[in-house]
Amino acid sequence: MTSTANEIVVNNAAWANATPRLSVLIPTFRDDPSALLKALDDPSTRAEIIVLDDGSGDEALAKRIAGRIERLRLPARLIRLTSNQGRAKGRNRLASHARAGHFLFLDSDMLPNPENFLARWAALAEGENTPIAFGGFTLEQTPLRPEHALHRAMALKSDCTLAPERAKSPEKHVFTSNLLVRRDVFETVEFDEGFTGWGWEDVEWAMRVGRHHPILHIDNSATHLGLDTASAMAAKYEQSASNFARVVSAHRDIVSAYPSYRVARALKPFPGRDIWRPMLKAFALNEAAPTSLRAFAMRLYRAALYCEAV
């Protein structure tokens, strides 16, 4: 174990002499990635795993993650930050520890679907030297829980799509939940650390990098286990409004084609936003209402939050 002023690093026994071809980069904040780490532990892939605990301050959780890191057969490192850096800074920090020629960004609440998930990514990195690829995500292994019904319905409609559909708007469907990036590409275009809170930093990165490199979409999916309650979703959308404004400022030519932008433009002229916007939120949070109508209300609420930026 080593430490500096703001990070503590724990390596497992396999770390020191490894020459990895693929660096799997997993940020976490108060989530336990143990199930993901266990599923990824395939030494034949010549991968390394790097986990960033982004200032969670949870000693018991950090101890569990460190124990799992030490038991992995793959070379692995845990980085514990003493303060939270956020989504963009945290991922850039992860990449600075990576040693391989390709990075695979995975969220800590993901779980691979195919058994050869990591081997397929390794083959794409080594064999085809792919600059950027997104593998998609599903809800195949996500438990059915009533409090997550709204998020499930919305994700299934807009996010859980197959590669041919994603490829129609390649930058729009890039998320750091399951993203392969070649080292030289990332070193040229890192995540914009001006983004704060939740939302849009990965799509905005794809907008910038997509101007210079093709974005490949494949079906090598992982399950998103971490669905949110309706209130947590609303809070994230509220956080994302300033990030959306940052995207509009830099990439209006691209984002103006997105439904979220077009609906926000359509809603902007309507007076009394301070009255009807909270009503949309209240309906979306009402678990007694039909899920399809709640989802419609939540999308309108998000667009109403974005009105200021369009």
Residue 233 pLDDT grade (very low, low, confident, very high; cuts 50, 70, 90):
very high
| pLDDT at residue 219 in the model | 97
> Average pLDDT in the 257-266 region?
94
Q: 216 and 306 share a domain?
A: no
Does one domain contain both 246 and 187? Answer: no
pLDDT score of 55: 85
pLDDT value at 146 more than 70: yes
pLDDT mean across residues, the chain: 93
Mean pLDDT value across residues 251-279: 94
Q: Are residues 210 and 243 in the same domain?
A: no
| pLDDT surpassing 90 at residue 128 | no
- Residue 53 makes CB contacts below 8 A (sequence gap 6+) with 28, 29, 61, 62, 65, 78, 79, 80, 81
Same domain for 46 and 175, yes or no, is yes
Residue 292 has pLDDT above 90, yes or no: yes
- Answer for the pair 198, 234: CB distance below 8 angstroms, yes or no: no
92/28 same-domain check: yes
Question: Which percentage of the chain shows pLDDT scores above 90?
Answer: 85
Question: What pLDDT is attached to residue 9?
Answer: 93
Do 167 and 241 reside in the same domain of the chain? no
If you search the block for the tokens 């030289």, which residue do you land on?
Answer: 184
- pLDDT score for 209: 95
pLDDT in the model for residue 231? 97
One domain for residues 149 and 272: no
**How many separate domains does the chain show?**
2
Segment 153-161 mean pLDDT: 94
Residues 240 and 221 in one domain: no
Per-residue pLDDT, averaged over 233-262, amounts to: 94
| End position of a domain, from candidates 227, 257, 275 | 227
> Where a domain ends, among 175, 201, 227?
227
**219 and 240: one domain?**
no
pLDDT at 86: 86
- In the chain, % helix, strand, coil (3-state, to 5) comes to 45, 15, 35
201 and 246 together in one domain = no
**What is the predicted pLDDT for the residue at 2?**
64
Structural domain of 304 = 229-310
**How much is the pLDDT for 261?**
94
Q: How far apart are CA 136 and CA 179, in angstroms?
A: 8
pLDDT(145) > 90: yes
At residue 127, the pLDDT reads 81
Residues 6+ apart with CB under 8 A from 69: 10, 12, 37, 49, 51, 76, 77, 78
Per-residue pLDDT of 185-197, as tens digits, reads 999 999 999 988 8
Q: Give the domain-ending residue among 171, 194, 227.
A: 227
For residues 64 and 187, state if they share a domain.
yes
CATH number, position 122: 3.90.550.10
- Residue 83 near residue 7, CB atoms below 8 Å: no
66 and 170 within one domain: yes
At 12, list the tokens. Answer: 């497992």
pLDDT per residue as tens digits for the range 6-37 = 888 999 999 999 999 999 999 999 889 999 99
Q: What is the pLDDT of residues 85-123, one digit of tens each?
A: 888 899 999 999 999 999 999 999 999 999 999 999 999
